[in-house]
């Protein structure tokens, strides 16, 4: 019984964003799957956005998909400027549709951001885990790289 309690406590915590960040640092992309309706969410959510069910399980994504939408950002958030992105070095933010059928927003690498019109919707991409220093702290970010 004690073990069971411990397990459910861990399982519940897994849905919080700090846990998602930890999975990323382990180079794992995880989402939540609703046991009631099968809806997938990445990052994981404690409540199903489709049916409001709360019986969720974690599932690991393969990290493969295709570019569904993108924007090239020349004036980035302060965190991005800290990483060296600016008007001359724009970055690409995209929506990737994973093989599992769920869409996830992330930075897209390996695109020529100075020629945004050459970036093609449907480009196959694979998940990449980028480590960057933000505010003196090492963090892992999800990105996708064009194959
Ligand atoms: Zn659901």
* Cα 54 to ligand 1 centroid, rounded to whole Å: 8
| β-pair type (137-146, 103-109) | parallel
Same domain, 93 and 118: yes
Last residue within a domain, chosen from 39, 60, 81: 60
CATH number for the domain harbouring residue 108: 2.40.50
* Cα 33 to ligand 1 centroid, rounded to whole Å: 8
* Cα 38 to ligand 1 centroid, rounded to whole Å: 6
pLDDT of residue 137: 83
Overall domain count for the chain: 2
pLDDT of residue 78: 76
Which of 67-76, 79-88, 133-142 is predicted least confidently?
Answer: 79-88
Q: pTM to 2 decimals?
A: 0.81
Q: pLDDT for 72-119, tens place per residue?
A: 988 767 777 777 777 778 889 999 999 999 999 999 999 888 888 889
The band of 28, judged by pLDDT with boundaries at 50, 70 and 90, is very high
**Structural domain span for residue 11:** 2-60
Same domain, 51 and 114: no
Same domain, 103 and 140: yes
Same domain, 20 and 88: no
pLDDT at 47 over 50: yes
Same domain, 95 and 138: yes
């Amino acid at each position: 019984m004690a073990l069971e309690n411990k397990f459910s406590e861990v399982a519940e915590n897994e849905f919080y964003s700090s846990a998602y960040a930890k999975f990323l640092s382990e180079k794992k992309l995880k989402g939540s799957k609703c046991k009631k309706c099968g809806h997938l969410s990445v990052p994981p959510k404690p409540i199903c956005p489709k049916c409001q069910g709360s019986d969720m399980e974690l599932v690991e994504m393969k990290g493969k998909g295709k570019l569904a939408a993108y924007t090239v950002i020349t004036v980035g958030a302060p965190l991005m400027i800290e990483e060296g992105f600016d008007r001359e070095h724009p970055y690409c933010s995209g929506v990737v549709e994973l093989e599992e059928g769920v869409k996830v927003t992330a930075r897209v690498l390996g695109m020529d951001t100075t020629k945004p019109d050459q970036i093609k919707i449907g480009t196959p991409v694979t998940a990449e885990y980028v480590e960057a220093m933000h505010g003196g702290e090492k963090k892992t970010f999800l990105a996708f790289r064009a194959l």
